Structure 1
Amino acid sequence: MAYFPMFVDMTDRPCLIVGGGNVAYRKVMVMLDFGAKVTVVAEDICDELGNLTADDIADENKSVSDTANKENGQTDLDAEGRITVVKRKFDQKDCNGMEIVIAATDDNALNHEIAEYCKSKGIMVNAVDQKADCSFIFPSYVKEKNLVAAFSSGGNSPVLTQYLKGKEQEILTPFLGELNEYMGQIRESVLSEYDTEAERKRVFKEILCAAIDNGMIPEL
């Protein structure tokens, strides 16, 4: 099985996480880190996950669509309006309308059932620690603002990807994250001022090297 490396804009895209334990919590934090709108469905919620939405857990009898589409303030959402927790048993219809589903329960059979349903509906799915049930996998990554480095072993060796992540953290610093933001801010002006790709590349490289050498972000 070969996985294609691809960065996808998840901003405000609906994502379902089934499960309320520590593993589910970690997946929630990853999806929130990349701007997704997250719905969690689980009968039991761990303390870490509960603390995200302590006053906002949806009633057991409400569906995902009921809680996710409230008007007038969306009082059951937290984390900048991007997370909904529904405390009840999972139902297959919870997957409908989702772009990504993560099966993170402690029941392998249920995770497999969720994965099979999602695949039949063309929904991208990850079943935690069940490689054969995954249509995508989570890489180990380092993120500083919009600058991201990610590593994947195709599910073969999480220990190796964690090792690579540790090494990358020594290189991908908060300073580089800030520098990347600056480069994005000046991009349009450089593109409009210089006509050829070679000139633009030279200017961007000069700015980048000067900032790194001086350890300072240029002023706009």
Structure 2
Amino acid sequence: MFIDLTEKKVVVAGAGTIAKRRIRSLLNFTNHLTVIAPEVNKELKSLEAEGLLTILKRKCEMEDFYSADLVIAATNDAQINNAIYDTCRKQGILVNVCSDKQKCDFYFPGIAMKDQVVVGITASGKDHKRAKALVEQIRSIL
């Protein structure tokens, strides 16, 4: 399923390696991306300077998610990720807890893009290497 996120408010809690990977993917699809983390690196600061996202440089508060359409919980604290999950579920907000497949309303496929064509590949969480290889093959075709 592909969802038009262009005008949807997307919030990412965390700014580590996994969070940055998700942020890079999301930047292709939304105009309203907020990252909440006490520490962010130069790459994210540059993206904010370009107007591609907003950074709230602090720990997240559950109220941060109330107006979101989509939430990524990617902090390095399982308690915080679980609290984000619980908050989003109560509010009816789609959520992905990066560290817990059971707490994901959606997954991130490998993406191959060219012009207006977007191809998403997933191996249902079972064979990431195969999915990645297929994404590379499709990118070369596109």
With the length of structure 1 as denominator, give the TM-score of the two structures: 0.61
User: Equivalent residue of 1:40, what SS?
Assistant: strand
Instruction: Report if the CA contact (8 A) 2:36-2:55 is conserved.
Output: yes
Q: Which has the higher helix share?
A: 1
User: Aligned pair count?
Assistant: 142
Higher relative contact order (CA 8 A, sep 6+): 2
Residue 78 of structure 1 corresponds to which residue in structure 2? 51
Instruction: Report if the CA contact (8 A) 1:142-1:165 is conserved.
Output: yes
- Report the Cα offset of residue 47 of structure 1: 2.4
Residue 37 of structure 1 corresponds to which residue in structure 2? 32
- Report the Cα offset of residue 46 of structure 1: 2.0
- Report the Cα offset of residue 145 of structure 1: 2.2
Moved over 6 A (4+): none
Root-mean-square deviation over aligned CA pairs: 1.5
- Report the Cα offset of residue 160 of structure 1: 2.1
Unaligned runs of 5+ in 1: 1-5, 55-76, 173-220
| Percent identity between the two aligned chains | 32
Whole-Å separation in 1 of the counterparts to 2:128 and 2:44: 23
* 2:100 counterpart of 1:130: yes
Which structure's CA Rg is the greater one?
A: 1
Over 3 Å counting, the alpha-carbon distance change for 1:52 and 1:148 in structure 2 is same
- Report the Cα offset of residue 51 of structure 1: 2.2
- Supply the AA of the counterpart residue of 1:32: L
- C-alpha distance after superposition, 1:117-143 (max 9, x if no partner): 211211111111310111111000101
Unaligned runs of 5+ in 2: none
- C-alpha distance after superposition, 1:146-192 (max 9, x if no partner): 201111122223222111111111212xxxxxxxxxxxxxxxxxxxx
